[in-house]
Amino acid sequence: MFQQARALADLALRRYDALITLYERHGPVFRLGTGRAGYVYLLGPDANRFVFGNQHLFRNREAFESLVPVNGETSLIVSDGEDHRRRRALVRPALHHRQIDRYVRTMAENADRVLDGWADGERVDVYAEFRAAIRRSTIEALFGRRLAADARLVGDGLQPMLEMIDRMPQALRAHRRLRTPAWRRAMAARRVADARVFAEIDRLRRGAADEDDHVLATLVHGRNEEGSGLGDVEVRDQAINLIAAGYDTTSAAMAWAVHALMTEDGVWERAAAEVAAAGPPTAEALRRMPYLDGVVHETLRLRPPGPVSARKVAADFEFAGHRVRAGSMVIYSPYVTHRLPEVWPEPLAFRPERWTDGPRPGPHEFVPFGGGPHRCIGSAMATTELTVMLARLLARATLRPDRRDPRPTGLTAMRPRGGLPATVTSLAPREPAAV
């Protein structure tokens, strides 16, 4: 009992780094807490392989129940079994690589809008500035200019609930059960965002469509092999899931990437030289930026936006000599996997070249987007958006960090506490070719 208490105290103090200590002490399987408050931890690549390869043993719905107030009852992240397969099949075509290539110009334009508003010597919060840009870029690329014109309305409608679900699950359940004023305000704000999305769905149902509708039109009109599609609520849930997850986690990763560029010796200079040689971002130009791609992947390795994830156990199983009972909550951790020295040489070193020199890691060693049938459907969109926005920043500005070592915070997306303040030390106008 004393060891349990000490481990829980260490976890509260050191968070995910404490999990690495517990892994070193107890191996890939251990339990913390008792009863309904207890969790079974499955850590490391072999654990990831087991979880991703045995989805029939787990359920997502109970594990991600806290996301339902934002993402909805039918969103992919809380869907299981046949419902998940059907919905994912209807969402996937809109996020194919060929589609994402079309969004590069939109992403670059939204990054340039941020940079256009900066001035030499100005102090800016890079996290907040690019969070707004990524929100608009995500909505515009996926859902078109009409909805993007109301990106702030949609974002403001989702933000109170995003802040609500970023608390401990017990606190969220209490707010929900008691219908506290904070809960009612968050729900009222969400209804504003919902109304805007439902208006677009209705417009498309009535036959209005053009090439600017992108993903929303695909969700509304898409049919599977049996000829069935998504209902209005299902379309709303998939759309909000893509918007909320897209900008919340991607903006967190953007902040950590910029922090690494500013603080790691020589990284900004090398990445900026590569961007200058490749030219303004297009789908083809991005392929000429392997080092910047390494910056993105190394950021996702060391600072995965979702440092831990969960599954509810649906049936008893055995792993690494341990029996895990149905009804348990299992935790696996990209953060722990990505920092194990037996998997990653010099795991704490930020080395973008590890992604260009030699073979890349396998699907169970690098898991910032999860894996298996529930792997994040927007992973290619996220990495493309990060690369494009970083490329525009590197092409047009240099920054000096105001804090050398920001602390991570957040449950749903690990972001720098207090944002990412920096001073603009130089700024160039956008090139005509990038407009």
pLDDT at 32: 84
Q: What are the beta bridge partners of residue 331?
A: 41, 310
Q: Name the class of domain 2-434.
A: mainly alpha
In 10 A of CB 346, how many CB atoms? 9
| CB-neighbour burial class of residue 78 (10 A; exposed 0-12, middle 13-18, buried 19+) | buried
Strand 39-42 vs strand 329-332: parallel, antiparallel, or unpaired? parallel
pLDDT at 9: 64
Domain assignments of the chain as residue spans, ordered by start: 2-434
Number of H helices, E strands in the chain: 19, 12
- 229: amino acid identity, one letter: G
In 10 A of CB 255, how many CB atoms? 26
pLDDT at 430: 82
Which one-letter DSSP state was computed for residue 359?
A: P
- Dihedral sign, Cα of residue 331, residue 332, residue 335, residue 337: positive
CA 232 to chain centre: 25
Mean pLDDT by runs of 10 across the 435 residues of the chain is 62 79 92 74 97 96 90 92 91 75 90 96 96 90 83 86 80 87 92 92 81 75 82 92 85 97 97 96 94 98 94 96 94 97 95 90 94 92 95 97 88 88 94 53
Q: How far is it, in rounded angstroms, from Cα 257 to Cα 401?
A: 12
- Cα–Cα separations (whole angstroms), residue 305 to 151, 168, 245, 300, 388: 22, 17, 10, 7, 18
pLDDT at 433: 46
* Single pTM value for the model: 0.92
